[in-house]
Amino acid sequence: MNDFDDSVLRDQLQRLGGHGPDEAGAYLALQQRVGVAKRRRAAAVVGGLGVTLMVGFAAAAYQPPSSSRLVPANGGGDEVVLTLPTTVNNADTTSSSTVISTPTVNGNTDNTDNTSNANNPGNSSPSTSAPQTGTDSTTPSPIDVPATTAHTVPHGHATTSAPATTTAPTVPATTTAPTVPTTMSTVPSTSSSVPTNFTEDASASSTGGRATVHLQNGVLSLVTYSASAGHDCVVDPPSNRIRITCRPTLFNTVGNTSHLDFSIGLDGHLVALSTET
């Protein structure tokens, strides 16, 4: 340090630096700036917390659409088989009435034979409808049980009883979602806002039998029904719904009474319900 000690130069430079600022005034200015900086920092912290809370609430409130699915209740012990609509045709009702599938024989249901696809290219979804020969679906009555409805499985003819699980495989709901028609019509039994001018088929089955119902212009008609071995099926009187009750015969001591209910849902589509008691 002694090598660079130069009192003349030191004095010159210190004189150049001036007398320096007022210490008291500088300290007051410092305190003011510290206060401003603290307030700014507090505002930033509060703002950050607010933004974080908002983002958190938004993330908690967000629910993806896929998570809001309805799951059927699994209580009561009764087996319930729901079958969604399998055939939707807005163009021509006569062409959709020719859907034919192999009926239940010996407890097996063949859903692969669908000859109507050749005549109806627009109907790409397979159908599990029972034979519908001779049924004129263009002028259905509220409850129309055709005279030619085929009891495809005669009583006592089947060698084995048809278990409920064999009739369960139906067309997946995702492939048979009906399209909403573009024109609307007023049907007394349904709300005016519900579209009804389309056709729809639905099948339901239970251990006592199976049935297929046709919906056209808001009117239900029974296409076919068949009883399983050891059961008799009875169609309830006409109303705004169709109920087929299948009871075991006298020789069947292990069977249960089952009901196949078809009705029009709030959305105008067919609702099929199978219950056993």
Footprint on this chain of other proteins (rule: CB under 8 A): 1, 3-4, 6, 8-10, 12-18, 20-21, 23, 26-27, 29-30, 33-34, 37-38, 41
Nearer to other proteins, 27 or 57 (CB): 27
Residues 6 or more apart whose CB falls under 8 angstroms from that of 247 comprise: 208, 231, 232, 234, 257
**Nearest-approach distance from CB 43 to other proteins, in angstroms:** 14
CB of 212 closer than 8 Å to CB of 224: yes
**Nearest-approach distance from CB 49 to other proteins, in angstroms:** 19
Of 174, 241, 239, 230, the C-alpha closest to 204 is: 241
Nearer to other proteins, 26 or 55 (CB): 26
**Nearest-approach distance from CB 30 to other proteins, in angstroms:** 5
Cβ neighbour number for residue 186 with a 10 Å cutoff: 12
CB of 191 closer than 8 Å to CB of 206: no
**Nearest-approach distance from CB 57 to other proteins, in angstroms:** 32
Nearer to other proteins, 16 or 118 (CB): 16
CA distance 254 to 228: 13
Radius of gyration of the chain, Cα coordinates, nearest whole angstrom: 39
**Nearest-approach distance from CB 10 to other proteins, in angstroms:** 5
Nearer to other proteins, 18 or 65 (CB): 18
CA 21, 23, 26, 30 dihedral sign is positive
Nearer to other proteins, 25 or 72 (CB): 25
Residues 6 or more apart whose CB falls under 8 angstroms from that of 276 comprise: 78, 79, 206, 207, 208, 256, 257, 258, 259
**Nearest-approach distance from CB 55 to other proteins, in angstroms:** 28
- CA-based angle 199:153:82, to the nearest 5? 45
Nearer to other proteins, 20 or 75 (CB): 20
Please give the helix or strand (H or E) that residue 227 lies within, else none.
Answer: strand 219-227
**Nearest-approach distance from CB 51 to other proteins, in angstroms:** 23
Torsions phi, psi of 250, nearest 5?
A: -65, -30
CA distance 22 to 30: 12
**Nearest-approach distance from CB 19 to other proteins, in angstroms:** 8
275 DSSP β-pair partners: 259
Nearer to other proteins, 14 or 277 (CB): 14
69, amino acid identity: R
Nearer to other proteins, 3 or 64 (CB): 3
